Structure 1
Amino acid sequence: MGPGRTRRFSRRKSSTRTRPGRPGRRQIPRSPGIPPELGSFLSFGLDEWLDHIQRQHWRTIDLKLDRVSRVWQRLGGSRPPFVITVAGTNGKGSCVAMLESVLRRAGNRTGSYTSPHLVRYNERICVDGRPASDAEIVDAFRRIQAACGDVGLTYFEYGTLCALMVFWARCVDVAILETGMGGRLDAVNMIDNDLALITSVGLDHMQWLGSDREQIGREKAGVIRPGAFVVSTDPAPPAAIADTAADLGALLLQAGEQYAIEPGPDGKTCRWRSEHPAVPEDWRRLAGLPLPLPGDWQPHNLGGTVAALALTSGATGVEPVHLVPGLSSARLPGRCEIIGREPLTIIDVAHNADSAAGLARFLDANPVPGETHGVFGVLADKALPGVLDDLGMRVNRWHLAGIDEARGQSGEALARKMRLLYPDMEAETYRDAVRAFQGARAHARPVDRVVAFGSFHVVGDIIGSFERTSVPQ
């Protein structure tokens, strides 16, 4: 499908869409019945389901498509009308947030699937920007469980099927599917996409994806479909992305080649331009595009988002007039987010080398006269040198958090690893992220800075603690 392809669906505003039963929802046919041995699942709430699905496959991560595809077929699954798949190492969440906001502004009913979540599982599955309800997710899990039979699914595979079922029931126009890891063998890749948006490619999850950027890039490029659209936001991408697109006859817009993004004179907006014939003429010169999310790497994400919207505008009805209000409404917590002053308090999910370098630059752009207290916790399989190369020298005192999760580690174990890199570091260890954050805040003076970063578990637990108390001032 090239530049001249026609719209795949008739765009309708969510408020006017009607279906049998409740407006905007499909009546899902009742399954033939839950087998007697599954009767106990009828009483499960969401927390019980989440505990259950974590124990259904002997591996936490098992990158294959056969299991999840087989269950999807048993469920009689239907592909969403239009699909955008987002893959990459860093920037996926930012691109999803911006895409979703602009597509909604143009009147599309959107479904977004992202991972991991920060506070509640429901965040992973959103329709029109709002998380799915417990009841929707539980109903989908019941149906998936009944369809599994002898197939054992991973936690992520259950979630992927759940998202697709919710999107079908809610009649979404555009589904935005973020890969969990890699791309080629990621569960979301069982669904053919109309456009693949590949963000920056860096060194992460190397035990599963490969030891260098070319190998990892080849896995990410596995989401590209024959004849479909591809956007690559990385200014220096692995050659595997362009090679795969060429082999499959996919139409590629590469940052710095087929399109350009430049910061505007005010530093708060950007200019975007492209002369590619696949880009509609009214999209080829755009100025005053707001940067809704913090960080000096966000122009790359914005550039790729605009390229994706331009290529798919014929199918989605997005016009340049939707960009400014749509982008201005995009939100994504936990990314270089300033949540308090005196002491300046920042949270970020940086947990690999590239994202940590970006956080380091953000800290340099927001200096304080005092010291920096680092609240840090990561999963045990993360390579610490890459994460700490740029941030280690910027932290004066560490508050190390344990993570009580299958791939987690204690604060003491993390401290032992870090002392191999920084023998003289000042550090205290804590059972969990909330205690570590509270300890850092207690030690910090008004002129100091507290930066909490690392795993989503760390940042999510801290954000969750605000809901039980209050956000620091």
Structure 2
Amino acid sequence: MQNKRTLDDWLYWQETLMEETIVLGLDRVQIVYDLLFPSGVPYAVITVAGTNGKGSTVSFIDSIYHKSKYKVGRSTSPHLLKYNERFAIDGKEVSDELIIKAFELIETKREDVTLTYFEFSTLAALIIFAEASVDLAILEVGLGGRLDSVNVVDSDVSIITNIAIDHTDYLGDTREAIGREKAGVMRTAKPCICGDQDPPQSLLSYAKQIKTPLTLISESYKNEIGLEGAHQKLNAAVAVKAIESLADRFPVSISMITEGIKKARVAARFEKITIGDKTVVLDVAHNPAAVKALINTLSENPMETVAIFSALADKNIVDMIELASGTIKHWFLVPISAERSIDLESLKNKFDEPESTTICLNMNSAISQSLELNEIKRIVIFGSFYTITDAFKIIKKFNVNSFWS
């Protein structure tokens, strides 16, 4: 190992360590975690799992605590434009130097234990937050819950936003199977807040089995929120309940909650950008449940809308298209820079009306063509985190204000 490596060097090296990008299981990461934190992490932890809404829920919690005196770490994934987005302290992304320092510490401890890219990220977050002496850390689960590396930490409060069909190769193809995987983030005698409106029996049974105090949220947050969509009001209610469950250790005022929820922002969750006379909506919706929420939010303000769309081949693309087709007048299909992306001819063939689609050479072409449609006032870009990343690299050229500006 060289002593001086750039962050990009470290990330490239981590990607070469294991052939598979996703390797679930806690055996490897547990060994290194115990070496780094033999007594556990020195701060309180909120773990956030769920199929959709994790990032938004993390944002609501982080924004509320940002109004308080507490020092708070936030770990999310994936990143959109740069790796540093994964780690923030009091709302500010951490530097390359702090991340590299954490990687170097992991490297001195792991010996012959092979870690995945995501396991390095999880452990780095825990180290960075410990070095910064945070009071509390909010950790977003990457995939599932039970076997995700974030679950190596015993949380003080767990959150399960909802259960929908996604990542079936890893989590199972039923809500019952997926629910059991998500339920793995629960801890005995530690509160769990669940926002699913029809929680699987597997989740309820596991909570009862390990004696987790489970709170089911059925009523949405009533006041003003910083994110658009009815589903976000439910995420906000989940966030508030989680904060209330820690009120004995980290009390916050009603005004802090109100202001925090109102000020919450998160990239590419119905993020609106104005370009000329067009509204461009960026949304990372990448499974049917998320697309349904996206379309419901678009329907709150009906207008002629076109889509720029692509997806990973292992997603339920047919259902995503079917849910959106009644709202989308025309589809611009784009290639995305991901190994698991779908071939565009195959994507076109999934449409009942292929004539409603245009295959584009790249994202730049798709955005240019959609902006030239005089009668269209709204362009929605969705289907994958990769789609949004590629889109924003082009949109930046228009000097627009956005979450990333």
| TM-score, length-scaled by structure 1 | 0.80
- The code of the aligned residue for 1:427 comes to T
> Equivalences for 1:333-348 in 2 at 5 Å?
333-340=267-274, 342-348=277-283
Give the distance between the partners of 2:193 and 2:356, measured in 1 at CA: 44
Q: Does the CA contact (< 8 Å) of 1:373 and 1:444 recur in 2?
A: no
Q: Is 1:46 matched up with 2:7?
A: yes
Indicate the residue corresponding to 2:374 in structure 1. Answer: 445
Indicate the residue corresponding to 1:220 in structure 2. Answer: 182
Indicate the residue corresponding to 1:194 in structure 2. Answer: 156
SS of corresponding position for 1:72:
helix
Indicate the residue corresponding to 2:329 in structure 1. Answer: 396
What CA deviation, in whole Å up to 9, does each residue of 1:208-254 have, x standing for no partner? 10111111011000000011001111121112222111111111111
Indicate the residue corresponding to 1:71 in structure 2. Answer: 32
What CA deviation, in whole Å up to 9, does each residue of 1:415-440 have, x standing for no partner? 32332332433333345434432332
* 2:167 aligned residue (191, 197, 205): 205
For structure 2, the 5+ residue unaligned runs are none
Give the distance between the partners of 1:46 and 1:430, measured in 2 at CA: 33
SS of corresponding position for 1:176:
strand
Q: Does the CA contact (< 8 Å) of 2:33 and 2:152 recur in 1?
A: no
What CA deviation, in whole Å up to 9, does each residue of 1:133-189 have, x standing for no partner? 111111112222333322221111111011111001111111101100100000000
1:123–1:431 Cα change, 3 Å: farther
SS of corresponding position for 1:322:
helix
Indicate the residue corresponding to 1:454 in structure 2. Answer: 383
Give the distance between the partners of 2:361 and 2:136, measured in 1 at CA: 42
> Equivalences for 1:21-420 in 2 at 5 Å?
38=1, 40=2, 42-76=3-37, 78-256=40-218, 260-261=219-220, 270=222, 289-340=223-274, 342-368=277-303, 370=304, 372-409=305-342, 413-420=343-350
Indicate the residue corresponding to 1:280 in structure 2. Answer: none
What CA deviation, in whole Å up to 9, does each residue of 1:395-451 have, x standing for no partner? 222221212223234xxx13323323324333333454344323322x322543211
Q: Does the CA contact (< 8 Å) of 1:437 and 1:452 recur in 2?
A: no
Q: Does the CA contact (< 8 Å) of 1:109 and 1:127 recur in 2?
A: yes
Q: Does the CA contact (< 8 Å) of 1:343 and 1:445 recur in 2?
A: no
Q: Does the CA contact (< 8 Å) of 1:433 and 1:462 recur in 2?
A: yes
- The code of the aligned residue for 2:357 comes to A
Give the distance between the partners of 1:145 and 1:434, measured in 2 at CA: 40
Task: Please state how far the C-alpha of 1:469 moved relative to its aligned partner.
Answer: 4.6
Q: How many equivalent pairs are there?
A: 400
Residue range with higher mean Cα deviation, 431-440 or 353-362: 431-440
Residue range with higher mean Cα deviation, 51-60 or 147-156: 147-156
1:138–1:204 Cα change, 3 Å: same
Task: Please state how far the C-alpha of 1:76 moved relative to its aligned partner.
Answer: 4.1
Task: Please state how far the C-alpha of 1:472 moved relative to its aligned partner.
Answer: 8.3
1:448–1:429 Cα change, 3 Å: same
Q: Does the CA contact (< 8 Å) of 2:72 and 2:90 recur in 1?
A: yes
Give the distance between the partners of 2:306 and 2:401, measured in 1 at CA: 15
CA RMSD of aligned residues (A): 1.9
Q: Does the CA contact (< 8 Å) of 1:80 and 1:175 recur in 2?
A: no
SS of corresponding position for 1:315:
coil
- The code of the aligned residue for 2:273 comes to I
What CA deviation, in whole Å up to 9, does each residue of 1:317-349 have, x standing for no partner? 223232112212211121112111522211111
What CA deviation, in whole Å up to 9, does each residue of 1:337-396 have, x standing for no partner? 21115222111111101110111112222222x4x3211121221121222121123222
Give the distance between the partners of 2:89 and 2:340, measured in 1 at CA: 30
For structure 1, the 5+ residue unaligned runs are 1-37, 263-269, 271-288
Task: Please state how far the C-alpha of 1:100 moved relative to its aligned partner.
Answer: 0.7
1:80–1:97 Cα change, 3 Å: farther
SS of corresponding position for 2:326:
helix
Indicate the residue corresponding to 1:463 in structure 2. Answer: 392
Give the distance between the partners of 1:175 and 1:433, measured in 2 at CA: 36
What CA deviation, in whole Å up to 9, does each residue of 1:69-118 have, x standing for no partner? 11222334641421100000011111100101112212111111111111
Give the distance between the partners of 1:112 and 1:352, measured in 2 at CA: 24
Q: Does the CA contact (< 8 Å) of 1:384 and 1:418 recur in 2?
A: no
Q: Does the CA contact (< 8 Å) of 1:343 and 1:444 recur in 2?
A: no
Indicate the residue corresponding to 2:357 in structure 1. Answer: 427
Give the distance between the partners of 1:139 and 1:293, measured in 2 at CA: 35
What CA deviation, in whole Å up to 9, does each residue of 1:178-208 have, x standing for no partner? 1001000000000000111110110110111
Indicate the residue corresponding to 1:21 in structure 2. Answer: none
Give the distance between the partners of 1:69 and 1:439, measured in 2 at CA: 50
- The code of the aligned residue for 1:185 comes to L
- The code of the aligned residue for 2:72 comes to T
| Percent pairwise identity | 34
Indicate the residue corresponding to 1:286 in structure 2. Answer: none
Indicate the residue corresponding to 1:32 in structure 2. Answer: none
